[in-house]
Structure 1
Amino acid sequence: MNTITTKDGTQIFYRDWGSGQPIVFHHGWPLSGDDWDNQMLFFLGQGYRVIAHDRRGHGRSMQTTKGNDMDTYASDVAELAAQLDLKNAIHVGHSTGGGEVVRYVAKHGNSRVAKAAIISAIPPVMLKSEANPGGTPMEVFDGYRTALAANRAEFYLAVARGPFYGFNRPGAAVAEGMIRNWWRQGMMGSALAHYECIKVFSETDLTDDLREINVPILIMHGDDDQVVPITDSAELSIKLVKNGTLKIYKGLPHGMFATHPEIINRDLLAFMRE
């Protein structure tokens, strides 16, 4: 397997296909780089070098008891980019991976990064507070923790069958294989890392990171996202970045890049070629 070893001794798994301008894909919680199979194949066919890593504690990367926080996630990406000597790269992140992209580009990546795109992403911050009254209440995230600790396998099936892909909506075309693949990816990772990552994706404040990004950034979000509501994420993020474009997708769910790749891939490609 392709892995790098970070400074703290953690092995990070990655896939690296093709040549040309690199695109780095950052997956969501609690998944792995496999979630980007469609995009990896599509953009490889368009002449790009495509790279997807498994975040520490997720997928095939080492199951660590340390470093399950956004700063370390971004530092791991910086080490991957340095060891692969990635330059003029485009970073694409979904959900928690979108937060990882924002932190990485702001803190480490402006010199190596050409563009960034975030899809259904968590920035600026998900948790409801006095400063963020439109956010998601802590009780929701505590519910995630309780369900994960009680029966992770059943919880992951419920997420995939329900709000993640919008399969709980009336008339939705339910894709059983997509549900099973989501569950497979989730169960590969560490229960501890996934548990601790709930705090990461709910409480990490990326407001200042968004302000620091200097490269063009595409913010893509479905207006029927039941996991990361658009009004407290994309519609706030676009006001904070210097050089951003917001694309809103009517009726599309949190996992829209998987349910509607023909739409998302088209718009990503247009952004990359601009």
Structure 2
Amino acid sequence: MRTTTGLFVLVSVLAALQPAAAAEQRSSLPWSAPATTQIIVEDRKFRSGDAELSGTLYMPLSGKPVAAVVVTHSASSPLRGASLYDHLKTVLPALGIAVFAYDRRGSGQSGTKDAGGNFTILADDAIAAAKSLKTDPRIDPRRIGTWGLSQGGWISPLAASRSPDIAFVIAVSAPVVTADVQMIFSSTNHLKANGYSKADIDQMVAARKAVDNYMRGTVSRAEAQAKLDGIKTKPWFKYLYMGETFRDREVSGWRKEIENDPLKNLEAVTVPILVLYGTDDAVVPVADSAERLKSVAPRMPKMQVHVIAGADHAMQMSADLKTSLDPKHDGTERPDSPEYFALLSSWLAAQGLVGR
């Protein structure tokens, strides 16, 4: 068993680091052998509430029903074709696991109306995707789980807490703090990485807190807008990921986000869950998140938590801090940490999900 699992891990790491185009080019060479893993790629649609969503299934050719993973989205990668998800489409089928990636509602081919910051809607979309896979005889309906990174790491546990159709959860770089705390941490590191002063950081934090407190009903809209107006011309404003104004708190998606405590969602998960962080994550407060998870670990025997040396928010080791925090690179991330691939593969094997 150890030898087989180790082989799977090695195959996964090597496969994930090879660009798909290069692999396709090599397979056309006259001396090439056929690949051991044959992948069937199928576009398919499914309904979630009043929305029709569109995705792509990556199905390993197998003589028996296989496990499957539904991909939930990071905030900056709403499309199924995002580079962030490419490694899953290579690694998991090599392990005998299907992957279903879809366009988040309001993006790509999944309509024009988004979830408005409502994580419950996004979680229910993932549940609907899992239910649609259960009708496919090539997929084992008892072994369908979710994978999500960053915001997706919030959505995946929430989906599992709301439905028995989710059999396991993989949450990567998921902040176990509320969204307002996470964004202040992230924006502070963005400004630090780009050499801005403590005074700039203090001004940024004050503006963010004013908007957040307006959403909580403790600060007037005029006061919060004035704080925002005071920084909107700053060269570092883009690192806040905020607009120059904000919606009324009664309809604001941001209010919905900051009122959601991810720890409560995690505590409600009863299926096996793998939580992965990188030591060099400047977007998520890993130390605080790990500490909060430690507090609930005795009540969650099926949860495993690992902090991966040298990995950033997207499980990359190759990107320097300033590059990884540059907004122009959002949506272009490609995980490349060997430890991440090894832990992901070995955990899936330990759960009995690997099979060919």
Q: Which residue is equivalent to 2:99? A: 50
1:102 corresponds in structure 2 to 157
CA distance in 2 between counterparts of 1:66 and 1:272 reads 30
Give the % identical residues. 21
- Asked if the contact 2:59/2:97 (under 8 Å) is kept, the reply is yes
- Correspondence list, 1:239-254, <5 A: 239-241=295-297, 242=300, 243-254=302-313
Question: Structure 1: 5+ residue runs without aligned partners?
Answer: 160-191
- Report the counterpart of residue 221 of structure 1 in structure 2: 277
2:69 is matched with which residue? Answer: 23
Structure 1: distance between partners of 2:263 and 2:314: 23
**Structure 2 counterpart SS, 1:207:** helix
| Residue in structure 1 matched with residue 340 of structure 2 by the alignment | 264
Residue segments in structure 2 that go unaligned for 5+ positions in a row: 1-42, 61-65, 135-140, 188-204, 213-227, 241-246, 317-333, 351-356
1:3 to 45, 54, 64: 45
Closer/same/farther in 2, CA of residues 128 and 27 from structure 1, 3 Å limit: closer
Q: Given the alignment of the two structures, is residue 14 of structure 1 paired with residue 73 of structure 2, yes or no?
A: no
Q: Which residue of 1 aligns with 2:170?
A: 117
SS across alignment from 1:62:
coil
Q: Deviations over 1:21-68 (max 9, x none)?
A: 111221201213322011211111221111112221234322205554
SS at match of 1:24: strand
TM-score, structure 1 normalization: 0.70
Aligned with 1:83: secondary structure?
helix
Q: Are the structure 2 counterparts of residues 233 and 55 from structure 1 closer, same or farther at C-alpha, using a change threshold of 3 Å?
A: farther
Q: In the aligned structure 2, how far is the partner of 1:23 from the partner of 1:155?
A: 37
Alignment root-mean-square deviation, CA: 3.5
Tell me, in whole angstroms, the C-alpha distance in 1 between the residues paired with 2:296 and 2:185.
17
Tell me, yes or no, if the aligned pair for 1:30 and 1:58 is still in contact at 8 Å. no
CA distance in 1, matches of 2:206, 2:156: 24
Which residue in 1 is equivalent to 2:132? 83
- Distance, in Å, in 1 between the alignment partners of 2:272 and 2:160 is 11
What one-letter code is carried by the residue in structure 2 that aligns with 1:265?
Answer: F
Larger radius of gyration: 2
**Structure 1 counterpart of 2:336, which letter?**
H
Matched positions, count: 227
Counterpart CA distance in 2 for 1:66 and 1:249 is 32
Spell out, residue by residue over 1:178-220, the C-alpha distance to the aligned partner (whole angstroms, 9 max, x if none): xxxxxxxxxxxxxx9xxx7655555421222211111121111
SS of equivalent to 2:179:
coil
Structure-2 separation of matches of 1:62 and 1:252: 34
Question: Shift of residue 238 of structure 1?
Answer: 4.3
1:236 aligns with 2:292: yes
SS at match of 1:88: strand
Q: 1:3 to 1:99 in 2, by over 3 A?
A: same
Q: CA deviation at 1:92?
A: 1.2
Instruction: Work out whether residues 220 and 234 of structure 1, in 8 Å CA contact, stay in contact via their aligned partners in 2.
Output: no
Quick one: which amino acid aligns to residue 13 of structure 1?
S
Q: Deviations over 1:81-136 (max 9, x none)?
A: 1122143123111000010001100111xx3233211111133423349xxx9998
Q: Deviations over 1:146-202 (max 9, x none)?
A: 8xxx9xxx998x79xxxxxxxxxxxxxxxxxxxxxxxxxxxxxxxx9xxx7655555
**Counterparts of 1:11 and 1:155 in 2: how far apart (Å)?**
36
Alignment map for 1:133-144 (pairs within 5 Å): 139-140=207-208
